[in-house]
A and B are shown apart, each in its own frame.
Chain A
Amino acid sequence: MESTVKQYTFKDFASDQEVRWCPGCDDYVILRAMQKALPEMGIQKEDVVFISGIGCSSRFPYYMDTYGMHSIHGRAPAIASGVKLANPNLQVWIITGDGDAMAIGGNHFIHVLRRNLDLNIVLFNNEIYGLTKGQFSPTSIVGQRTKSSPYGNTQPPFQPGELAIGAQARFFARVGGNTPKEMTQVFVDAAKFKGTSLIEVLQNCPIFNDGAFSKYTDKTVRQDKQLFVEHGKPMIFGKERDKGLVLNGLKLEVVTIGENGITEDDLIVHDAENQDPTLHQMLVRSEYPLVTGIIRSFTDITLEERVDEVTRQVKADSSFAKTDDLFFSGETYEVS
């Protein structure tokens, strides 16, 4: 099958529509990363579907030369579930933002993760409402001054990964909005993962929340403040690659290799595939270092597989081939 798939370049996935995000927005980076990732996935263009909700991020499908739907606020996970159940051969992407996924669409967001259909979610988290011009979102930090919180936000935020893993997410990754190479790779890995994958992109909004993530994502600090985890590798970070994570009781602790007798062998080796999410939750919550990369990737039976199994069994046991067999079965009687 692989050989019959057309060889695409990123240009094949760009639609004829002019991109209309604000200059300098990380959304451009995400768009380009996706257009570059798709040719790596070995999939026919006509089998790719992007479903979005409402918000800046949700204009995304218009810019992709694939099938797409720009739907209504918060409902993309439910619509995408219908697409995938109707035709499991399709590769389905949900494009959403922090408000779309975790405020108005919170219910669909947790349930799509729980069900585990084989689809992918890209969450553009900019910790602000952009399209409605600057109100706080469910991920805005306490104290953040916005148009709707002129004296500072009083509502504590969600940590998307924590919420997602609590809702039984099997795949969770986080990437900075200014690291296109890592992002492209994570998109490819997410597509290959069988089950629902969620990728949180820390997406800078240059207009309403500029610099929200700069203390982690700025080129000057990135290596010292971010730990990019890889499955099977020790948790090392820092410009000098001398910092690492160990487990001290029930807490993560940052250590320096070479100090107090610490060697690389003492560091935690990342196990993304562990069913037990305890350590994944700790990584998600860690503020220093901020953990990026694929934090959790636990392969589980998908909803399609469960549905398939039940359907096959029912079909095998049933004597109904056509609707007429049902209609004329059981308690019928003749009138002459």
Chain B
Amino acid sequence: MITAKESPQQEVLEAVVVRFVGDSGDGMQLTGTQFSDTSAMFGNDVATFPNYPAEIRAPQGSLYGVSGFQVHIGSVEISTPGDNVDLLVAMNPAGLKTNLHALKPGHTLIVDIDSFSKKNLEKAQYESNPLEDDSLENFQVIEVKMTSLTKETLKDVQGLDNKSIVRSKNMFALGMVYWMYNRSTEYTIEFFNKKFESKPAIIEANTKVLNAGYYFAETLELIPNSYTVAPAKMASGTYRIIMGNTAIAWGFLAAAEKSGLELFLGSYPITPASDILHELAKHKHFGVKALQAEDEIAGISSAIGAAFAGDLAITTTSGPGLALKGEALGLAMMLELPLVVVNVQRGGPSTGLPTKTEQSDLLQALYGRNGESPIIVIAASTPSNCFNFAYEASKLALEHMTPVLLLTDGYIANGSAPWKIQSTSEMPDIVPRKLKSAPDTWHPYDRDEETLARDWAVPGTAGLEHRIGGLEKDKVSGNVSYNPENHQYMTDIRAEKVNRVQKYIPHIKPEFCSEGKLLVVGWGGTYGSLYSAVKQMTQEGHKDIGLAHFNYINPLPSNTKEVFDKFDRILVCELNSGQFITVLKSRLEGYKYAQFNKVQGLPFGNSELVEKFKQYL
């Protein structure tokens, strides 16, 4: 174990972005996760983003088989995984080819030159070896015979085949990076000891290679000095690193416990939402019922059945799956049952870009059903607040007796960040409208005067036997009604019920400034990108730019108009062709709107945002 020590040569940096890239089988996700976890333990703020191919086992060395993991660590607040990287670790030519564009000029590149064989160069479609021509002259290139050094390190370790030996070279790279950023290897060695408890040879091999990489970097003259990133100023408390999809699952666990209900998930596997199903399937000890259904429609339909029978019912999906669920979601709205639908957005349309991020399902979420069928739509905006919004979605569904659609996206779902752990005991109360026994007089569509929510009368309760269905219902009895006035009344009241949710959601609070020339508006997963860019503008001296980032989309926060009134121009930035701006224009007329859109399967970059903002200042 190596404990990090202060060294006189250290340069102090505020923040650093490191990207590890290699073949799908090179263990880049593990390497990146270890670096980010160790940095978080050290006290840095961190944000991570994995980038892996859609193919499960793409041909070795191919351009489309490249897997990457980016880590942004800082002594300052970190709100995105970062755009351009300060250090690129490339385990093979394909990784270098596909990621070099992200490396800042003059910055460091570590390559495993053992992998730069003629065959691998050809697979990466290099006409000449980039290490030998002058294409890398703008970078500080550190060439390391990583594969041979790993083999040499492990030559005396018993019980390892050649494959396992070569596979541990990622730890050599990690050891080097630990030295460069003055990180202790302690946490990772502990991790080996736990993970490979029954395989002592693997523990020994990984530990040796990690240390070998560390010492190699220390003694290597090619690395001029090491850097340090000091701990960030973060609120005190107990933290853990959490991925957005895990946070979603845990938010539901907390909501079920707080509301005293059992949790039911009906779902069908789909990228990038499946991890929520995986996570909830683990938690049978909390009584979670996770049904992997035969299709998307059965996923939501089983959840509707569970909601009718009194569970906190959830279904999870991504864009194409939401399209399939549309009819059933309309039924849930019509029945006025509590249901949470999570849509982890990905690149569309159709099958689109399953492993890439986008925000192009907003209009589908709001309007993608037949008839007049308003529902609550909310969006999480960071990996860690996925927890809060899963909880909030459950609370709104249960207290207002309506489906709630929760939007996230591939970027925050797969990204991870520190989460100041919230105890379920400290979360707000959830009071489901479940009737425990039959009141003296009761009708299925009697409503609460304030919220307009109906009661939840679940099968098994004597005296409350009733029938509900997708046909229009009488406003009181719930019996089928074709009466024209009744249909108008029910249409209006279903809309009004959702509008009244405005009274129960927080105001939108503009950040950086609340009056000025330009209000940057965003929603959902772009928060980190927009926040960093507006912050940079503010630090550069622009005092008249603010940020209003929306988590509540339907209904909008009640003070939205007042916030917009204070700015000359409203710039709506979205990873789609302009969906939220369409909604805003129809609901809040009379503003000077502008829009900035990007549909490349990628998050916003800092520089493109800053450049755009400057056009309006």
A interface, CB within 8 angstroms of B: 15, 17, 44-49, 51, 61-62, 64-72, 75, 77-87, 89-90, 107-108, 111, 307, 310-311, 314-315, 318, 320, 322-324, 326-328, 330-336
Contacts and interface: CB of A to CB of B under 8 A. Distances in A.
B303 interface: yes
A79 B301 contact: yes
A194 to B, nearest CB: 19
Contact of B461 (A46, A107, A314): A46
A69 B254 CA distance: 29
Contacts of A320: 283, 285-286
Contacts of B297: 75, 78, 108
Contact of B266 (A15, A82, A311): A82
Contact of A82 (B284, B286, B305): B305
11 contacts: A72-B331, A72-B470, A78-B298, A82-B303, A82-B304, A86-B309, A89-B460, A320-B286, A327-B422, A331-B240, A335-B239
A322 B305 contact: no
B301 A335 contact: no
Nearest to A332: B240
B425 interface: yes
B460 A71 contact: no
Contacts of A336: 236
Contacts of A327: 240, 250, 421-424
A9 to B, nearest CB: 16
A69 B421 contact: no
Interface of B: 37, 40-41, 43, 234-241, 250, 253-254, 257, 262, 264, 266, 283-287, 289, 291, 293-295, 297-298, 301-311, 313, 327-328, 331, 335, 420-425, 458-471, 479-480
A17 B465 contact: no
Contacts of A46: 459-465
Nearest to B282: A314
A94 to B, nearest CB: 11
B470 A87 contact: no
Nearest to A67: B459
A328 B426 CA distance: 14
A254 to B, nearest CB: 40
Contact of B327 (A61, A62, A72, A81): A72
A333 B239 contact: yes
Given A78-B293, A81-B305, A335-B234, 16 more contacts: A17-B479, A45-B462, A62-B467, A66-B465, A68-B467, A72-B331, A75-B298, A75-B328, A77-B298, A78-B302, A79-B301, A82-B266, A87-B459, A90-B459, A108-B297, A328-B238
Given A46-B464, A62-B467, A336-B236, A85 B331 contact: no
B285 A82 contact: no
Classify the interface of chain B: helix, strand, loop or mixed: mixed
Contacts, number: 195
Given A315-B284, A320-B286, A323-B424, A49 B459 contact: yes
A107 B250 contact: no
A86 B264 contact: yes
A283 B314 CA distance: 42
B593 to A, nearest CB: 38
B240 A330 contact: yes
A70 B301 CA distance: 12
- Nearest 8 Cβ contacts at the A-B interface: A82-B305, A70-B469, A318-B285, A78-B301, A82-B302, A86-B309, A78-B298, A79-B305
A57 B430 CA distance: 39
B550 to A, nearest CB: 27
Contacts of B304: 71, 79, 82
B468 A326 contact: no
A1 B462 CA distance: 16
Contact of A332 (B295, B311, B327, B421): B421
A70 B311 CA distance: 19
A315 B240 contact: no
Contacts of B467: 15, 61-62, 64, 67-70
Contacts of B254: 323
Given A82-B305, A333-B40, A47 B266 contact: no
Contacts of B262: 86
A111 B291 CA distance: 12
B288 to A, nearest CB: 9
B238 A107 contact: no
A174 B229 CA distance: 75
Contacts of B285: 314-315, 318, 320
A90 to B, nearest CB: 5
Nearest to B461: A46
A85 B289 contact: yes
B252 to A, nearest CB: 10
Contacts of B302: 78-79, 81-82, 85
Contacts of B234: 335
